[in-house]
Amino acid sequence: MWLTAFEMAKAKMKEIRGVSLLEFPDLLLCGSLGGIAFWSVALPVDTIKSVVQVSEKKMNMIQATRQIVSQHGIGFLFRAWPVAFGRGIPGAAVTLSTFDVVSRYLQKNGF
């Protein structure tokens, strides 16, 4: 999800800008979008996993999801979004942008 969203954002940004290579600030924006896409999907799964891990009774992911939604509502699955997005989006922006720049450099120099 992370890389797919990043690559899709890069393709759209190249189209919008009319360029073949993006500048680093554009890559940071695309990386941020990759982080948003990833955590939008991963956060509910991570919340369910945490409930399963701390539960006193044995339950699987489906049982935990049913319990969460019935007791707290669907919004509970996203309750940690400030933390996940606050750390995950900048992390994705820097990681994916740096990966892209280093990959380009290595390809250009025959590595």
Domain boundaries defined on the chain: 2-108
| pTM (2 d.p.) | 0.82
Closest Cα partner for 33 from 96, 75, 81? Answer: 96
- How many CA atoms lie less than 13 Å away from 28 in the CB half-sphere? 5
- pLDDT by 10s per residue, the chain, length 111: 889 999 999 999 999 999 999 999 999 999 999 999 999 999 999 999 999 999 988 999 999 999 999 999 999 999 999 999 999 999 999 999 999 999 999 999 988
